[in-house]
Amino acid sequence: MFPGYMFVEINPDLSEWRTLLSTYGVRSLVRCGEKLAFIDASFIASLKAREINGAIVRPERPYRIGQQVRMNSGALEGLVATIIEMDEKDRLVVLLDFLNRPLKARLEAQAVTAV
């Protein structure tokens, strides 16, 4: 999920973090200028919760190809469509009947609900 990245818990007030740079395989640390960049501990906890045999498992997708969904908002709100494609960034391509013609639409997964 994060190839080439290693997450380390350190005390940001200590200047000893620079020794990490001499660790084999470490090229750099993620920083904002000279300050170290930090992520919330709850994010690391959620990654650890999804770890199986040393690998992070992606969460199950709430939708599948062929499933019917209802549009939640916008000009197409309330219309029912069928999922025909899904990508890795939780975007869907749906096919719907609009004015008696098939119409493809690309949208975010949170813009629909299952029928």
Give per-residue pLDDT as tens, 12-55: 777 677 788 888 888 888 888 888 888 888 888 888 888 888 77
CA distances from 78 to 53, 75, 105, 107, 112 (A): 43, 9, 14, 14, 9
Domain-embedded: residue 48 = yes
**Domain stop point among 56, 81, 105:** 56
Q: How confident is the model at residue 1 (pLDDT cuts 50, 70, 90)?
A: low
Return the SS3 of 5.
coil
Domain-embedded: residue 108 = yes
Domain that includes residue 26, residue range:
15-56
CA distance 53 to 66: 32
Classify residue 86 by burial, with Cβ atoms within 10 Å: 0-12, 13-18, 19+: middle
Predicted local distance difference test score (pLDDT) of residue 59: 64
Q: What is the CA radius of gyration of the chain?
A: 22
CA distances from 66 to 22, 84, 93 (A): 51, 6, 11
52 and 78 belong to one structural domain: no
Q: How confident is the model at residue 78 (pLDDT cuts 50, 70, 90)?
A: very high
